[in-house]
Amino acid sequence: MYIVADLHRVECPEHGVVTEQVEWAFHDSRFTKKFEQHVAHLALNQSRKQVCTLMRIHWRTVGNILFRAAQVKEKEAEHRFDDLEVIGIDETSYKKGYSYLTTVVNQKTCEVIWVCDRHGKEVLSAFFEQLSDTQISSIQMVSGDGARWIKDTVKHYAPHALFCIDPYHVVTWAIEAMDQMRRRLWRDTLNEEKKEPKRRAGRPGKGEERTQKKSKVLKASKYSLGKNPDHLTSRQADNLDYIRTVYPKLFRGYQLKEGLRQVFHCDMEEAEQKLQKWLNWACRSRIEEFVELSKKIRRHKESIANTRKYGVSNARIEALNNKIKLIIRRAYGFRNIENLISMIRLACSEIGRQLQPAYVYDRNFE
């Protein structure tokens, strides 16, 4: 269907000849507002290729429509920066290489309120600089993954806000420290095995037993050491018992990892005591990886205490990051980052809920 309308042309002394703006279409668009709203609604729930086939338009046109829809709806939702009591900040990758998006989430409404290409202090500073003094003063708590650029930027623009570090990332630090220790032991064990005389080929002789190489056991113990002890399989539990006997120092690293995890599964008062006890234990463990980790945990001790007291984490942000990954996977990636940002704004915030199809089938109409 085509719409034919007579439009006035005005000769302006400043801008030259301009065409009359109509209320049923956006500037520089060849479609009606209702049509664009319908296309944007479909694009949030289907792949772009399906939308192009259904609506008989080019896939670049879908990207332009989404960009205009996000701009218009954002102007209507300027109140999204008001009363930001608890926010979460995180970055997520959107393609191969060092390519990240920075997202800011309102923890109370669980929606993305700001998203920008790249990450770092300069990028996050752009978010705070667009807020008014009243909006910044309303921020009471900020959650993050412990990255220094997040913490320093929040401290600079909102020094009154409490910073809460995500428990998942704290435990991940301990798992990474333990895995570094495991790999170091594996390299040392492998070098020792290479120096041993090679065993002859074939089956073991009479009275000779074939023993499994220690390096192979260490290589296969990554998931046994990293998993929650309640979720271990019988084979992984046997592997853990072997490490307890043969590598007591590595098993001590495993106990340190579990001790830090238990800090986030107890009462507030008990958590403070356990954290201090863990710091003393890790500092005197004579395991270089955990000695360095204890220094890092000590720097974030106040943030960990805030997390235990108020129960704020990055769980909602990680859930939205998975939704962003789904958007990227459904589109097989985005060559234009602005199209991806428009999709995130529409799909992960309240402005996308305002998009409705142009026609809704009603069974009662029959």
Tell me the pTM. 0.79
Model pLDDT for residues 139-191, shown as the tens digit of each residue: 999 999 888 999 999 999 999 999 999 899 999 999 999 999 999 999 998 88
pLDDT > 70? residue 258: yes
Model pLDDT for residues 339-349, shown as the tens digit of each residue: 888 888 888 88
Place of tokens 């002890």: 229
CB 318 within 8 A of CB 172: no
Q: For the domain 81-166+313-333, what is the CATH code?
A: 3.30.420.10
Confidence of residue 77 (pLDDT cuts 50, 70, 90): low
Domain residue ranges of the chain, discontinuous segments joined by +:
9-77+355-365, 81-166+313-333, 168-192+214-309
Model pLDDT for residues 281-334, shown as the tens digit of each residue: 999 999 999 999 999 999 999 999 999 888 888 888 999 999 999 888 887 778
Assigned token pair, 153: 């930027």
Of the chain, the end-to-end C-alpha distance in Å amounts to 25
Mean pLDDT confidence for 351-362? 60
